[in-house]
Every structure is written in structure tokens, then in C-alpha cells.
Amino acid sequence: MNFTLGVFILANKGFPMSFDLAPLLPVLIPKAIEWAEQRASEISASGEPLDERGLVLARQVGVASPEKIRLSFVTQLPLPTDPMLLQAALQIGLLGPGMIGLTLGHGIYICRDYNSNRLLSHECRHVQQYEQAGSIAAYLPDYLQQIVQFGYTSAPYEVDARAHETDA
């Protein structure tokens, strides 16, 4: 399905262009966890392990089990089919066209045209955050709460990931 067309159709089905996400979090979070766990198990089954350079980067940003990380190189990030989850993800900018990486547990999507040490180190720091939280189900509610409360740029998990970016 064409991405732009999909959003256009959604908008024309009477979906609000923008809505207050905070009260919807109790509904959105279980959907997000289910979606994220499914994507993570796909990446785990078919993704590529880190090469030596990647293993060094992952250890550098504090990942405890870099050997568990799998990379999936994609043209664009996968989108949820659930209409409410899709709308929410696009509204907060999480899966929009500007996003070039996404980490779900030890699974990392990288948009192949934007692959770099800087991007990989950022996403590996998110792996470290998942490891600290213990699971996708434990991490994602806090992460999404931060995004809704502070906005993407100021969310503490994102500030932390940016602080650990490196080109080396």
C-alpha cells in the first residue's frame, strides 16, 4: 500500500487530523506493545547480527548483550495496521518519513540509505534502555509516556540516546 495514499484515505474517513493522545495511552500502550513484540520477534528470526564495528559501538554505549542485537535494513520503517495506533504513531512523529531508525528490544530497524555509526550508536543506546527496563512490555509504556508528555526531542530517553551518539 502506498504510504501517502494510506494516510490520505485515513484522513478522509473522518479520522481527526490530530487528537489528544494522553487519555488514549491506556488503549494505545497494549496495542503498541503487541505490535512491537511481533516486529521484534521477526527481526530476531531474520535480522543480521552486528559486525565487529557494531559490537564495539554497542558495548561503548553500555549494551550488556550486544550479541543478541539483530539489524533489519529497510527502505522505510514498518507501520502498524491498527488505524488508531497508526494515527498516533504518525501524529507524534515516531514512524513518520523523518524517522530513520527504530529499536524494539534487541531488534533494530535501520533505513538503509541512512546507515551510519551515529545512527547505530543512537539505536544501540535504546537497546541499553530496554535492557535496563527488562522487556519491551516494561520499557514501552515509559517511553511513550515521555514522548506524549515532553515531545520527541525532549523525552529523557531520547535525550539520553542523543548524548550517547558517536561517529567513531
Nearer to Zn ion, 8 or 114 (CB): 114
Which DSSP symbol is given to 50? P
Residue closer to Zn ion by CB (options 24, 94) is: 94
The reply to whether 88 sits near Zn ion by the rule CB under 5 A is no
Contact between 161 and Zn ion per CB under 5 A: yes
Note whether 124 and 163 are within 8 A (CB): no
Q: What is the dihedral of CA 159, 109, 45, 57, to 10 degrees?
A: -60
Rounded to a whole number of angstroms, the minimum distance from the CB of residue 93 to Zn ion is 11
- Among positions 119-158, residues that touch Zn ion (CB under 5 A) are 158
Q: Using alpha carbons, select from 47, 165, 160 the residue that is nearest to residue 110.
A: 47
- φ, ψ of residue 23 to 5 degrees: the values are -70, -15
Question: Which residue minimizes CB distance to Zn ion?
Answer: 161
Q: How many residues bind Zn ion (CB under 5 A)?
A: 2
Q: How many helices (H) and strands (E) does the chain have?
A: 7, 4
Q: How far is the CB of 77 from Zn ion (least distance, A)?
A: 12
Task: Find the shortest distance in angstroms from Cβ 154 to Zn ion.
Answer: 12
Q: Least distance (Å) from Zn ion to the CB of residue 114? A: 13
Q: Near Zn ion by CB under 5 A, which window of 32-40, 60-68, 71-79, 159-167?
A: 159-167
18-24 contact pairs (CB < 8 A, 24+): 18/91, 19/87, 19/91, 21/88, 21/91, 21/92, 21/148, 22/148, 22/149, 24/84, 24/88
Complex with Zn ion: residue 35 or 109, whichever CB lies closer:
109
Closer to Zn ion by Cβ: residue 86 or 127: 127
Judged by the rule CB under 5 A, the positions of this chain that interact with Zn ion are 158, 161
